[in-house]
């Protein structure tokens, strides 16, 4: 009961220029009990997030506090006219107030260099389109990174068990590794420090994975669990 109300509070911003894909992602997210806002462009997304050049009004728009427009995760299409998903990702990561919001990129094209570029820029996941329920179910750990102290409590027990299993099984699965490292941090540190270390931790583990020279084949299990890859 507590879990259900917690999940209903998570707000996902979905960005896609395709009307059909917006409808689809909205349904997928609602099915997973997230609150959803969809926009059709990167610039509208930034507008919604209250982004501006000077990065002022931090108190007003910070995702860390209870403010008007709290977004717990951004999921965006890569190929969009004008501002691409990658451009949007960059802008978000460059912003002091927005960079802690996890970003997921979706693309209909399986291009390893594209995937790597997005990850290097700080994307938390890369989904191949068409996105399915199995993919959306993978979002929870990323959303949990920005969860508040109150919502943390019911999740802690589950996460502990999951992450102990994962650390043994998934040495090669880099995204799981990132998640468990992040969650380690979350548990050992005070809430106020969480977000900074969470994101810097993320970057560190990603750099590590890049150094290990993740090949396209090895990236596959990471992104395509449960997905039928419809490659070109």
Partner 1 sequence: MEVQLQRSYLEYSKALFREGVLDAQFVELQMLRDESNPDFVMEVVTLFFEDSQRILNQLSNTLNEQSVDFKKVDANVHQLKGSSSSIGALRVRNACIAFRSFCDAQNVEGCLRFLQQIKQEYLLVKNKLEALLRLEQQIVAAGGVVPVLNDFS
Residues that bind partner 1 (CB under 8 A): 18-21, 23-24, 27-28, 30-31, 79, 81, 108, 129-130, 132-133, 228, 230, 232
Of 18 and 225, nearer to partner 1 (C-beta) is 18
What is the secondary structure of 8-69 as a DSSP string? HT-EEEEE-S-HHHHHHHHHHHHHTT-EEEEESSHHHHHHHHT--TT---HHHH-TTS--SS
Least distance CB 130 / partner 1 (angstroms): 5
Shortest distance in whole angstroms from residue 27 CB to partner 1: 5
Nearer Cβ to partner 1 (3/230): 230
Closest CB to partner 1 among 96 and 133?
133
Shortest reach from residue 5's CB to partner 1, in Å: 18
Instruction: Examine residue 40 and say whether the peptide bond preceding it is cis (omega within 30 degrees of 0).
Output: no
What the block records as the tokens of 181 is 């490292």
φ/ψ (deg, to 5) at 37: -125, 130
CA 21 to chain centre: 18
Shortest Cβ distance from residue 24 to partner 1 (Å)? 6
Q: How far apart are CA 14 and CA 209, in angstroms?
A: 27
Q: Which is nearer to partner 1, 24 or 90 (CB)?
A: 24
Q: Is 220 strand, coil or helix?
A: helix
Q: Distance (Å, rounded) from C-alpha 27 to C-alpha 23?
A: 6
Say if residues 22 and 38 touch (Cβ distance below 8 Å): yes
- Minimum Å gap between C-beta 86 and partner 1 is 16
Return the number of the residue (64 or 114) whose C-beta is nearest partner 1: 114
| Cβ(182)–Cβ(140) below 8 Å | no
């Amino acid at each position: 009961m507590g879990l259900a109300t917690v999940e209903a509070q998570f707000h996902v911003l979905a960005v896609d220029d395709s009307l059909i894909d917006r409808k689809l992602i909205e349904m997928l997210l609602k099915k997973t009990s997230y609150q959803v806002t969809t926009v059709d462009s990167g610039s509208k997304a930034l507008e919604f997030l209250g982004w501006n050049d000077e990065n002022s009004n931090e108190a007003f728009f910070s995702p860390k506090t209870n403010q008007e427009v709290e977004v717990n995760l951004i999921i965006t299409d890569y190929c969009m006219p004008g501002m691409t998903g990658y451009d949007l990702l960059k802008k978000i990561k460059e912003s002091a107030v927005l960079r802690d919001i996890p970003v997921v990129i979706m693309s209909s094209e399986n291009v390893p260099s594209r995937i790597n570029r997005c990850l290097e820029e700080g994307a938390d996941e890369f989904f191949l389109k068409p996105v399915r329920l199995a993919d959306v179910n993978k979002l929870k750990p990323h959303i949990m990174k920005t969860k508040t102290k109150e919502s943390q409590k019911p999740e802690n027990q589950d996460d502990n068990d999951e992450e102990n299993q994962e650390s043994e099984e998934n040495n090669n699965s880099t995204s799981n590794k990132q998640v468990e490292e992040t969650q380690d941090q979350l548990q050992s540190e005070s809430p106020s420090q969480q977000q900074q270390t969470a994101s810097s931790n993320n970057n560190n583990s990603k750099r590590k994975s890049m150094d290990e020279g993740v090949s396209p084949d090895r990236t596959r299990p990471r992104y395509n669990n449960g997905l039928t890859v419809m490659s070109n």
